[in-house]
Amino acid sequence: MSGTNKVVKPGQVLFRAGDKSDGMYLIRKGELRVYLEQGGKEVALATVGSGGMIGEMALFDGAPRSASVKAISESEVTLISTDDFGKLMKQIPKWFVGLMSSLSNRLRQTNERLQKLETGVTSKTMAFQAPVRILNVIILLWHKDGEKDGKDFVVQKAVIEKSLIEVFNEDAEKLRVLFEILAREKILSTRQDSYKNVVYAMSNRAVLNQLAAFIPQWVRANPKQPCLDADGVNILRALEAIVTSSPYDSVTVSLADLQKEGKKMGLDTAKWEKAMLQFQAAGDDLRLVKASGGSGLRVSKKEASVALKHHEVLAAFFKANLQ
Q: Give tens-digit pLDDT for 8-51.
A: 999 999 999 888 888 888 899 999 998 888 667 777 777 888 88
Judge whether residue 221 has pLDDT over 50: yes
Compute the mean pLDDT over every residue in the chain, rounded to the nearest whole number.
Answer: 83
* pTM of the predicted structure, to 2 decimals: 0.64
pLDDT category of residue 65 using cuts at 50, 70 and 90:
confident
Q: How far is it, in rounded angstroms, from Cα 139 to Cα 134?
A: 9
H or E segment to which residue 76 belongs: strand 75-81
Distance of CA 24 to the CA centre of its chain: 21
Give the percent of the chain with pLDDT over 90.
45
| Nearest-angstrom CA–CA distance, 215 and 295 | 25
Close Cβ partners of 111 (under 8 Å, ≥ 6 residues apart): 57, 66, 67, 129
Average pLDDT over residues 218-228: 89
The arithmetic mean of pLDDT across residues 191-216, rounded, is: 90
Distance CA 243, CA 135 (A): 29
116-125 average pLDDT score: 39
Least confident of 162-171, 221-230, 257-266: 162-171
Asked whether residue 120 carries a pLDDT value surpassing 70, the answer given is no
Q: Is the pLDDT of residue 111 over 80?
A: no
Give the span between the Cα atoms of 76 and 262, in whole angstroms.
53
> Which of the two residues, 128 and 255, has the higher pLDDT score?
255
Q: Are 48 and 71 in contact (CB under 8 A)?
A: no
